[in-house]
Structure 1
Amino acid sequence: MLFGDALAGIDETTGFRGPIACKAVGITYRQLDYWTRSGLVEPSVRDSSGSGTQRLYSFRDLLFLKVVKRLLDSGVSLQQIRVAVGELHNRGIQDLAGITLMSDGASVYLCTSDDEVIDLVRGGQGVFGIAIGRVWSEVEGTLAQLPVEHIEEHPAIVDELQERRRAKRDAS
């Protein structure tokens, strides 16, 4: 089972709103908004489409957000993080659990086997590592206690001002 018992109902129409994503990842809403607007990690379930709509982030998006936070906390540059996230996007969800990101603080290396990790450490390049499988488990555990949203539950939300204008126009 991909997400374990607690997250078994998660599919491509299920997502997490911004505040829930922030809680699950341990970032501020301001960070989330900046990373989304700059294209670092974009919501794959539903992007905002004007005033009143909510972004919905998938489990995979939250996994990437948590990795970004870890890399930033470790002192890796945003430029290198963008490269690493781009590489992770090219991987299937099944492949992510077996990846370890290694860094020397300047560069990020994507390792898919223990031998690659050992080679980097022996060569003096790997100073710290982030096992995506471990991050996966942390995010999954946190999300098990937080609410999930389905796209069907909230069709496009109409802006309150737009609704008032329409009602006024219909009344005249």
Structure 2
Amino acid sequence: MAVTSGKQQDAPGARRSAIRRAGEQGLLCEEGVVALPMDVGYRGPTACAAAGITYRQLDYWARTSLVEPSVRPEDGSGDPPLYSFRDVLILKVVKRLLDTGISLQQIRTAVGHLRYRDTVDLAQITLMSDGVSVYECTSPGEVADLMQGGQGVFGIALGRVWRELESSLGEVSGERLSEPMAKPHPADELARRRRERKTG
């Protein structure tokens, strides 16, 4: 994942124009998001609905370690895996990058880089791409430099994705690890029957 150094020699007016265009497109970094508890998790179907992906994609990305459930990993205990807000945010970013034609190899590199960021820091990042490479920008100047240089064909402001998820996940209740398991989720009924068949 490339990070721009932003040394363009264009006129200051062109730079201001690029910053204005980036602001109009919602590509500039967001401020003031609230860190969410890391012990709250969402089951697979909820994560899929919030990220706009299929359960098959979710399962494949977990098995290939692209995005794994971090609140409660799949451990064979029978308890459903739980995805954190951060996991769902990254799932949604992966989906958007795939939709724009970025290769899975480039997406893996970008996700690997994002793993080392604090959760709240993610909201300050804008991912820009030229369709081949993915660039991380953490300031309006970096976004403008990429747009001026032609590398910034499209961008994803993670702060904006964060706010979308806050809205969609705010309508469902997550599960806390400290809480006993609630009544079984309908999607887990098949798994329960399989366990009973094996033990019974």
Q: TM-score range by the shorter chain?
A: 0.7 to 0.9
* TM-score (normalised: structure 2): 0.74
In structure 2, what is the equivalent of residue 25 of structure 1? Answer: 51
Question: What is the alpha-carbon distance in structure 2 between the residues aligned to residue 20 and residue 150 of structure 1?
Answer: 15
Gaps of 5+ in 2: 1-32, 183-190
In 2, distance between residues paired with 1:75 and 1:160?
Answer: 43
Structure 1 residue identity aligned to 2:181 = H
Q: Could you say which residue in structure 1 is the equivalent of 2:18?
A: none
CA distance in 2, matches of 1:160, 1:58: 29
**Counterpart position of 1:80:** 106
Summarize the alignment of residues 13-52 of structure 1 with structure 2, pairs less than 5 Å apart: 13-50=39-76, 52=78
Partner of 2:145: 119
CA distance in structure 2 between the partners assigned to 1:161 and 1:147 by the alignment: 30
Is residue 2:154 matched to residue 1:128?
yes
Which ranges of 4 or more aligned residues in structure 1 deviate by more than 6 Å? none
TM-score when normalising by structure 1: 0.85
**Secondary structure of residue in 2 paired with 1:45:** coil
Instruction: Report 1:119-158 matches (<5 A).
Output: 119-151=145-177, 152-154=179-181
CA root-mean-square deviation: 1.9
* Structure 1 residue 142 displacement after superposition: 0.3
**Bigger relative contact order, structure 1 or 2, given CA contacts below 8 A and separation 6+?**
2
What is the Cα deviation at residue 49 of structure 1?
Answer: 1.3
Q: Distance in 2 between matches of 1:160 and 1:46?
A: 22
Aligned positions, number: 157
Cα distance, 1:15 vs structure 2: 0.1
Deviation at 1:51, TM superposition (A): 6.2
What whole-Å deviation, never above 9, does each CA across 1:32-91 have from its counterpart, x for those lacking one?
A: 001111100011101111263311000000000000000000110000001111111111
Alpha carbons of structure 1 residues 51 and 153: separation in structure 2 relative to 1, 3 Å: closer
Please list the CA deviations of residues 106-135 of structure 1 after superposition, one character each: whole Å capped at 9, or x if unmatched. Answer: 000000001111111111111000000000
